[in-house]
Chain A
Amino acid sequence: MDLRDTPEEAAFRAELRAWLEDTLPEERRGPRGGAQRFGDAFGREWSRKLYDAGYAALTWPKEYGGAGAPYSFQAVFYEEMARAQAPSHVGVIGLGMAGPTIMAFGTDEQKQAHLSKILSAEEIWCQGFSEPGAGSDLAAARTRMERKGDVYVVNGQKVWSSFAHIADWCILIGLSDPDAPRYKGLTYMMVDMHAPGVEVRPLRQITGESEFNEIFFTDVEVPAENLLGEEGQGWQVAMTTLLHERGTLGFALTAALEMSVGRLVDLARERVNGDAVARDRIAQEWIELQALRFTNYRALGAYQRTGVPGPEGSAIKLRWSEQNQRLTKLGRELLGTDGLFDDGWWHYQQLRSRGNTIEAGTSEVLRNIVAERVLGLPKGR
């Protein structure tokens, strides 16, 4: 155990820090609110710059356009991005979910077609998992996929799909065999979002902005070669996606939290003097942040050895989401009565944080995962 950078890590950190200093315009720094990420062309431009500089996917193998670097470099990357308050790569779903799933289940053709375009932000991806009748219970997905010759005909509705309104591709799970036992009738495919019959409707959320969408599929024809895995193997493929979603998320989440705690500390220096209760609550949030940070480092060790994120990622996501809700509430409270009129950063963050315990696995589902897969408690279902 050594928390100091190795000479290689230190060199990488220095190079990245200098690159961010030179490349990132001042007005693009700062923890920017959700939907603003999607608002203009800067997202793709910035992502392309990250790709050209070799930072888009540090841990991906070189043959797929990554840097083939150890996971510790990814950790350094997130730390430095947070320090510079730099916006993240726009291809969050592609990098964290679609890409690793294609690497695990894709054919050579599929890998060639998509992986480097995910990194360069030529392809933005979205996720078609949740449905109006299938949220936490993903296996209840009812979007129909019917084989007709060389294509699957897709009909159905997906919901809570971030990035769908700007996406080029979708990782979609649906029902190919309604008569099969639960879990066995599901199939996983990649769908071109520009295909005829795909319609996207943005959903307005409690922040007033639109980050996620409904997607309607009406007789959409998807070539059979776009399946990931076999027909009927969809559940297994989807589990790989979700494992990566929660596994690699930890560092990005903690980096975002680091910025929020930094803001909280700045605010407290201005507004809180001798109030022991407020100071205690700020100390609690600072301690929890350090605990999450070093839990990430420990998980990284396991990730490095196995290449697969452990189910411990569920605990990190669980605690992160609850902390973000607590601390954004505290931020507004520290503003005093000014908080009643605040429509700025803390207002947005507090409202947005209510989604944190719902998206990417509700806290209830995550506790089930911990109970069953980590603790080995008997399964309820």
Chain B
Amino acid sequence: MDFALTEEQQELRSAARKWLSERYPLDRDFEAPADDRWSELAELGWLGVSVAEDAGGAGLGFLEEALLLEEMGYALYPGPYLATVGFALSGLGPEDQAAVAAGTTKWSAEVKGLVPWLGSVDRVVGMDGNAHDAAGEEQASVDPARPLGRLEAGDGTALPGPRDVPRARTAMAAEAVGVAQRVLELGIQYASTREQFGKPIGVYQAVSHQLANTYADIELARSLVYWAAWCVTVGDEQAPVAAAAAKAFAAEAAVAACERSIQVHGGTGFTWEHPLHRFYKRALWLYGLGSSPTELRAEVADAVLGVTIRV
């Protein structure tokens, strides 16, 4: 029984933190079109983390991808890594996987009838489990960096693997933890430097305890995400319930973390200029896409209590 990250996993995470923070700093121009540096991701090996070595990947697992997703949430990375790697990759055949690892094909997946990044990916895994061309109109969503579209469905072509819902949910939960971690740090920074009544506001418990609550939320959310990621990676039978738990908890934790951080920042946190609202919108997007926390908990209740006829 060992729940610690290996040295390699920790190194991957700090390398990702560094690479992302240098290219996607918080003072960047969020209004300008963002470069997702897709070919660089391919060179870094991030697109083929879980792809077999003979298909050009690293032959590692979903756990490593979850760590990268956490860091992408932390940095507000703009590209469709979540959709390509988190949603679509595992169900694709070896040739398609090799193309993902090489950075030549971007994928998304239809989630409850909506396709994230429909206008900027090449292929889509449909609700029918088939592969489709990315045809259809997309529109701006609650997170302006993440448009959603409706697929103009043809028949598509069959894919070898099933849609892996627990994996997709865990991927979203991992991003949510990264978002929450970042807004916590922003809140700590602000509360440590902003002075009122002659003291940094972080000495006041009405402020500091809000941040302590966020910290506890994040620790618990991260534990659920690692548990779910491990279950998904090894194919444990608890993967569905673990992933439902992780997404329900992490999405709520991320939204609450943003809301508390906005409050701690006072008027500053309410301005367009401050990046907090962008994290908040990312958290709301993750909260809303797919099943809501309430729906996910209904699944957990079914697993724990047994299914009953809900009236």
Contact = CB atoms under 8 A, between A and B. Distances in A.
A371 B209 contact: yes
B5 A291 contact: no
Interface stretch (A94-102, A143-151, A166-174, A271-279): A271-279
B32 interface: no
B288 to A, nearest CB: 18
B310 A379 contact: no
Interface stretch (B33-41, B73-81, B224-232, B254-262): B224-232
Contact of B2 (A1, A279, A295, A319): A1
B181 to A, nearest CB: 12
Interface stretch (A2-10, A84-92, A197-205, A227-235): A2-10
Given A2-B2, A283-B301, A319 B220 contact: yes
A6 B1 CA distance: 6
B214 to A, nearest CB: 9
Interface string A283-317: 11011101111110110111010000000100100
Interface residues of A, number: 54
Contacts of B82: none
B183 interface: no
Interface centre among B202, B219, B227 (most CB of A within 10 A): B219
A360 B47 CA distance: 47
A294 B224 contact: yes
Contacts of B192: 376-378
B261 to A, nearest CB: 12
Contact of A9 (B1, B204, B226, B294): B1
B205 A4 contact: no
B2 A283 contact: no
Contact of A380 (B2, B205, B236, B242): B205
A374 B223 contact: no
A53 interface: no
Interface in A56-96: 72, 75-76
A265 interface: yes
Contacts of B1: 2-6, 9, 72, 75-76, 297
Contacts of A282: 301, 304-305
B6 interface: yes
The majority secondary structure among interface residues of chain B is: helix
The majority secondary structure among interface residues of chain A is: helix
Contacts of A301: 2-4
A380 B3 contact: no
Nearest to B4: A301
A195 to B, nearest CB: 41
B62 to A, nearest CB: 12
A368 interface: yes
B188 A376 contact: yes
A265 B129 CA distance: 35
B204 to A, nearest CB: 7
A351 interface: no
A364 B304 contact: no
Given A283-B300, A287-B245, A371 B305 contact: no
Interface in B63-80: 63
Contacts of A318: 216
A72 B221 CA distance: 22
Contacts of B310: 274, 276
Interface string B160-199: 0000000000000000000000001000100110000001
A304 B216 CA distance: 21
Interface of B: 1-6, 9, 63, 184, 188, 191-192, 199-200, 202-205, 208-209, 211-213, 215-216, 219-224, 226-227, 230, 236, 242, 245, 248-249, 294, 297-298, 300-301, 304-306, 308-311
Given A1-B63, A288-B220, A291-B220, 5 more contacts: A283-B297, A371-B211, A377-B208, A378-B202, A378-B203
- In the A-B complex, list the 8 residue pairs whose CB atoms are closest, starting with the nearest: A301-B4, A297-B3, A294-B223, A291-B220, A371-B208, A283-B297, A377-B202, A279-B301
19 contacts: A1-B6, A3-B236, A269-B306, A276-B298, A283-B300, A284-B297, A286-B304, A287-B249, A293-B223, A294-B3, A297-B1, A298-B3, A301-B3, A315-B216, A368-B205, A375-B215, A377-B202, A377-B203, A380-B208
